[in-house]
Structures are given as structure tokens and as C-alpha cells.
């Protein structure tokens, strides 16, 4: 039996929820020793939408060939689907 969790698909996250997810991703990345990814999400609160989108895209590219970090990548995908909600 797999211990993978199913992620709930949510596409109505507001700015506060997106920033909270990014802080969570940064913390999880730091805990996994992924300091490059963790640094991408330090100080994202209040950044313009374009800068947040760039950081999310960069992190997704960085994680693309690292299947051992699939959960982080999936959470980033979720955030990516919600970037249109940044105001």
C-alpha cells in the first residue's frame, strides 16, 4: 500500500492563501535540504504577481527532474494554477 496522500485540487486560493502555501513550500524545501528552492520563497509576501509567478516557475523547473520531491512539485503546481488569482 502506498503512503502517498491525495491532494485536493483547489483553484480559488486568494493572495493570502497563495503566500501561505509558498511559505509552507519554502519551509518544506528547507527541511529537505533544498536551500536553493527555499530561498526562492523567502519574502514573497506582497511581491508583485509577476515576481511570484517567476519564482514559482523557477522552482518548478528546478524540481522537474527530482522525482523524490514530487510532493513539493505537486504543491507548486497547485499554486501555479492559482496564480491568476493574485491581485
User: Grid cell 514573497 — which residue?
Assistant: 44
pLDDT tens over the chain, length 87 residues: 445 566 667 889 999 999 999 999 999 999 999 999 999 999 999 999 999 999 999 999 999 999 999 999 999 999 999 999 997
Exposure of 77 by Cβ count < 10 A (0-12 exposed, 13-18 middle, 19+ buried)? middle
Structure-block grid coordinates of residue 83: 496564480
Rounded to 10°, the helix 49-63/15-31 angle is: 30
Q: CA 83, CA 21: separation in Å to the nearest integer?
A: 12
Amino acid at each position: 500500500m502506498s503512503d502517498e496522500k491525495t491532494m485536493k485540487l483547489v483553484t480559488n486560493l486568494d493572495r493570502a492563501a497563495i503566500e501561505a502555501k509558498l511559505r509552507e513550500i519554502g519551509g518544506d524545501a528547507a527541511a529537505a535540504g533544498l536551500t536553493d528552492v527555499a530561498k526562492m520563497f523567502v519574502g514573497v509576501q506582497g511581491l508583485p504577481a509577476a515576481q511570484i509567478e517567476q519564482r514559482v516557475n523557477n522552482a518548478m523547473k528546478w524540481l522537474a527532474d527530482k522525482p523524490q520531491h514530487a510532493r513539493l512539485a505537486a504543491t507548486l503546481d497547485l499554486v501555479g494554477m492559482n496564480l491568476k488569482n493574485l491581485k
